[in-house]
Amino acid sequence: MVDRTRTRIRFSEVDALGIVWHGNFVKYLEDGRESFGEKYGLGYLDVYGKGWSMPVVKLEMDYKVQLKYGQEIIIETRFVEVEAAKLVFEYTIYRKDDMAVVLTARSIQVFVNLKGELELTNPEFFVKWKAVHDLKA
């Protein structure tokens, strides 16, 4: 399962040299997860409405090339199938004008109920979501 979304680098995201500050890539990954969630029915409000949150517990990023103000990027977000009660996504960010790989990344999110307790088994709604998309429960 893959989603692709686009965004343009805004002035507020670059440093004094006009290069994207590294911390902003976390926001781009969030944009990718939100777009994926909208496309596949796994948005943050969908999950929250079922009594869960999904905090990020691990994030790995490998920077390849710089981005500058005004450039457009494509954020590719791929769902990684795992049996454990967590969401794993892999990402590739491309510079649109030449399709250069700008960044590769991986994130892990866990399920936490609204009391703040970690869930060690897949919540029922997620088992059903996987079934709808022909994934292992």
pLDDT in tens, 94-116: 999 999 999 999 999 999 999 99
Selected residue with higher pLDDT from 107 and 136: 107
The pLDDT of residue 27 is 97
Q: Which amino acid is at 117?
A: E
Token pair listed for 27: 């926001």
pLDDT tens column, 49-105: 999 999 999 999 999 999 999 999 999 999 999 999 999 999 999 999 999 999 999
Whether the pLDDT of residue 137 is over 80: the answer is no
Question: How would you class 29 by CB atoms within 10 Å of its CB: exposed for 0-12, middle for 13-18, buried for 19 or more?
Answer: buried
Identify the structural domains of the chain with CATH numbers, from first to last.
2-132 (3.10.129.10)
